[in-house]
């Protein structure tokens, strides 16, 4: 059997007795690696110094990667469903690692466009394919607890930044004796950045291969011990029918869910992107902030932990209370928390951190719960491909969230002089954004029967058996 055919879906069917608990760590080994994309700020200043360009020019690297994530997930979703998770993870690892290697070449030769092409375009494709690759497989292995399963994997995407941030700082310190990550103005040399990218590219490829080796699709007809499929149909808004990706995007429910995800991400990303200066501004008196730069960095770390924990905790909770109710919590309670943050956030640091932390846990929960919501609405048939199309909401929110916050803040004054009151217009706008998402969630209804696949063609496992 050639290497490439070993990656095919039909050669990935699990033998009898294969533990389904091998699938979450396989998924995590991919998501923990690609989550590095949220840790690019660690070496941003070093890039600015090395290439001699503006912050914006370097920020474009991240933007290209996120846009490519959305596009590749949307376009490649059907391919991922057809070829199976193992081939998808392998392709993702190749793109992700090659992105770092081409990026290293760009840094070494001082060609910024090569970094755009490498980390941005190639790495971004690896991100998109890798993000959706294990999702539908997890849902098929855990039909009894899809929220827990996808929450575990997507928690890894949040965890990836927790790993990559300190690791990158430590590697840069090891490669460049003059670089001190504890000094805000210290920048790493170009040579150390090259070695960082080479190390990360090779290291991530090796770790992702663990996922490639362990991932399996369940055998036709497999179900968890003691699980009764009829219990699924008894829950409101949960279908036992299946909808193809091409039909899913013609339904009202898909676009309502797109709006829900867009609103939830827009609100969360607004805080996430501005976290460090935001806490300093909230506690500024007579032009001086009582929160130091180091403490603001600690706040970013706290938010990352809430973001990661929310992905697992809230998504698992959705298995118990249902997908629509949990989004009512994310969006409804989120509105209250945003208003409280605007009105009372500046009274105490602990209150500010708690409010922002819970908001970020809802942000993470929204990402992690959406695959299970899609499963409920559209079935398991092409849920990965539908998820890929839905992630375009993430790309759009990645543009809208920072635009809203920065637009309001620019009108209020210069960075370093702002206070809590300067944030109120932006925060109340986010309350409105969440209200739109809340209404959209309320309007979601079961998909009409005319969009359902004929019964004999719906089960992918049966298709695999036939193949």
For position 52 contacting other proteins by CB under 8 A, the verdict is no
Residue 297 makes contact with other proteins by CB under 8 A? yes
- Separation of alpha carbons 375 and 384, rounded Å: 9
- The owner of tokens 């916050």 is 405
Would you tell me how many other CB atoms lie within 10 Å of the CB of residue 61? 22
Calpha distance 139→161 (Å, rounded):
25
Six token digits for residue 191: 């040579």
Would you say 433 and 424 are in contact if contact means Cβ atoms under 8 Å apart? no
Q: Give the nearest distance from C-beta 50 to other proteins in angstroms.
A: 25
Closer residue to other proteins (CB): 257 or 356: 356
Q: Which is nearer to other proteins, 170 or 240 (CB)?
A: 170
Nearer to other proteins, 205 or 210 (CB): 210
What is the rounded CA–CA span in Å between residue 180 and residue 191? Answer: 15
Please report whether residue 219 would count as binding other proteins according to CB under 8 A: no
Q: How far is the CB of 308 from other proteins (least distance, A)?
A: 8
* 305 near other proteins, judged by CB under 8 A: yes
Q: Per CB under 8 A, which region of 40-48, 154-162, 328-336, 415-423 contacts other proteins?
A: 154-162
Q: What are the residues whose beta carbons fall under 8 Å from the beta carbon of 427, sequence distance 6 or more? A: 338, 339, 341, 342
Q: Any contact of residue 113 with other proteins (CB under 8 A)? A: no
Bridge partners (DSSP) listed for residue 217: 13
Enumerate residues 6+ apart whose C-beta is below 8 A from 245. Answer: 77, 78, 81, 382, 385, 386, 388, 389
159 near other proteins, rule: CB under 8 A: yes
Comparing CB distances to other proteins, the nearer of 118 and 159 is 159
Instruction: Report whether 171 contacts 49 (CB < 8 A).
Output: no
In whole angstroms, how large is the CA radius of gyration of the chain? Answer: 22
Contacts of 131 (CB under 8 A, 6+ apart): 31, 34, 69, 73, 157, 391
Segment contacting other proteins (CB under 8 A): 28-36, 63-71, 187-195, 376-384?
Answer: 28-36
Distance CA 276, CA 262 (A): 23
Task: Report if residue 334 touches other proteins, rule: CB under 8 A.
Answer: no
Helices (H), 14-54: 23-34, 44-51
The contacts of residue 114 (CB under 8 Å, 6+ apart) are 102, 103, 105, 106
Q: State how far the Cα of 356 lies from the Cα of 271, in Å rounded to an integer.
A: 8
Choose, by CB under 8 A, the member of 295, 399, 439, 461 that binds other proteins. 295
Is 167 a binding residue for other proteins by CB under 8 A? The answer is yes
8-state DSSP, 453 = P
Query: Which one of the spans 142-150, 237-245, 291-299, 360-368 is the region binding other proteins (CB under 8 A)?
Result: 291-299
Please report whether residue 19 would count as binding other proteins according to CB under 8 A.
Answer: yes
Of the candidate spans 126-134, 292-300, 364-372, 437-445, the one that interacts with other proteins by CB under 8 A turns out to be 292-300
Site membership for other proteins, residue 316 (CB under 8 A): no
Based on the number of CB atoms within 10 Å of its own CB, is 342 exposed (0-12), middle (13-18) or buried (19 or more)? buried
Q: For other proteins, which residue of 94, 313, 333, 353 counts as binding (CB under 8 A)?
A: 353
CA distance 61 to 103: 10
Cα 155 from Cα 308, distance rounded (Å):
5
Least distance in angstroms from the C-beta of 166 to other proteins: 4
Stretch that binds other proteins, among 110-118, 124-132, 266-274, 300-308 (CB under 8 A): 300-308
Q: Is 349 in the site for other proteins (CB under 8 A)?
A: yes
Q: How far is the CB of 458 from other proteins (least distance, A)?
A: 31
Q: Under the criterion CB under 8 A, does residue 32 sit at the interface with other proteins?
A: yes
Residue 288 pairs in a beta bridge with 285
Tell me if 163 contacts other proteins by CB under 8 A: yes
- Which is nearer to other proteins, 166 or 432 (by Cβ)? 166
Which of 181/446 has CB closer to other proteins? 181
Nearer to other proteins, 163 or 340 (CB): 163
Shortest distance in whole angstroms from residue 401 CB to other proteins: 23
Closest CA to 280 of 419, 427, 424: 419
**Does the protein bind other proteins through residue 203 (CB under 8 A)?**
no
Q: Determine if 200 is a binding residue for other proteins (CB under 8 A).
A: no
Q: How many residues bind other proteins (CB under 8 A)?
A: 34
User: Does 210 contact other proteins by CB under 8 A?
Assistant: yes
Q: Give the helix ranges, DSSP H, for 109-144.
A: 112-115, 123-132, 135-141
238 vs 296 by CB, closer to other proteins: 296
* Among residues 108, 220, 298, 446, the one that binds other proteins under rule CB under 8 A: 298
Q: Which of these segments, 52-60, 106-114, 165-173, 316-324, binds other proteins (CB under 8 A)?
A: 165-173
Question: Which residues make up the interface to other proteins (CB under 8 A)?
Answer: 17-19, 21-22, 25-26, 28-29, 32, 156, 159, 162-163, 165-167, 207, 210, 214, 292, 294-302, 304-305, 349, 353
């Amino acid at each position: 059997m050639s290497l490439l055919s070993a990656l095919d879906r039909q050669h990935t069917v699990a033998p009898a007795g294969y533990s389904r608990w091998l699938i979450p760590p396989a998924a995590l080994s991919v998501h923990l690696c690609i989550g590095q994309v949220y840790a690019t700020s660690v070496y941003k200043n070093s890039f600015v110094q090395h290439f001699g360009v503006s912050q914006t020019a370097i920020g474009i690297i991240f933007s290209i990667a996120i846009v490519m994530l959305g596009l590749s997930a949307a376009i490649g979703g059907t391919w991922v469903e057809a070829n199976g998770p193992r081939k998808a993870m392998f392709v993702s690892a190749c793109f992700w690692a090659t992105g770092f290697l081409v990026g290293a070449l760009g840094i070494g030769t001082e060609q910024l466009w090569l970094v755009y092409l490498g980390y941005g375009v190639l790495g971004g494709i690896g991100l998109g394919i890798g993000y959706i690759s294990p999702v539908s497989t997890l849902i098929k292995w855990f039909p009894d607890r899809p929220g827990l399963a996808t929450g575990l994997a997507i928690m890894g995407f949040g965890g990836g930044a927790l790993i990559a941030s300190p690791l990158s700082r430590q590697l840069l310190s090891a490669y460049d004796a003059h670089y001190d990550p504890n000094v805000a103005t210290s920048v790493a040399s170009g040579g150390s950045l090259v070695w960082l990218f080479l190390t990360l590219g090779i290291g991530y490829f090796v770790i992702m291969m663990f996922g490639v080796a362990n991932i399996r699709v369940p055998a036709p007809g497999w179900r968890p011990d003691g699980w009764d499929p009829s219990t699924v149909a008894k829950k409101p808004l949960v279908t036992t029918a299946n909808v193809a990706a091409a039909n899913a995007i013609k339904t009202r429910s898909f676009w309502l869910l797109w709006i829900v995800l867009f609103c939830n991400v827009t609100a969360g990303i607004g805080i996430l992107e501005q976290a460090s200066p935001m806490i300093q501004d909230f506690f500024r008196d007579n032009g001086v902030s009582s929160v130091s730069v180091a403490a603001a960095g600690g706040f970013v770390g706290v938010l990352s932990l809430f973001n990661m924990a929310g992905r697992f905790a809230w998504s698992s909770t959705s298995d118990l209370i249902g997908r629509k109710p949990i989004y009512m919590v994310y969006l409804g309670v989120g509105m209250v928390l945003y208003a409280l943050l605007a009105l009372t956030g500046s009274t105490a640091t602990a209150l500010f951190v708690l409010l922002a932390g819970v908001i970020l846990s809802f942000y993470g929960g929204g990402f992690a719960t959406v695959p299970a919501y899609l499963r409920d609405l559209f079935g398991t048939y092409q849920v990965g491909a539908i998820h890929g199309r839905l992630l375009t909401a993430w790309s759009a929110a990645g543009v809208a969230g920072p635009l809203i916050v920065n637009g309001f803040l620019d009108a209020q004054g210069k960075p370093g002089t702002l206070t809590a009151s300067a944030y109120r217009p932006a925060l109340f706008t986010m309350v409105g954004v969440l209200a739109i998402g809340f209404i959209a969630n309320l309007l979601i209804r079961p998909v009409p029967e005319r969009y359902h696949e004929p019964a004999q063609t719906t089960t992918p496992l049966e298709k695999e058996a036939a193949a």
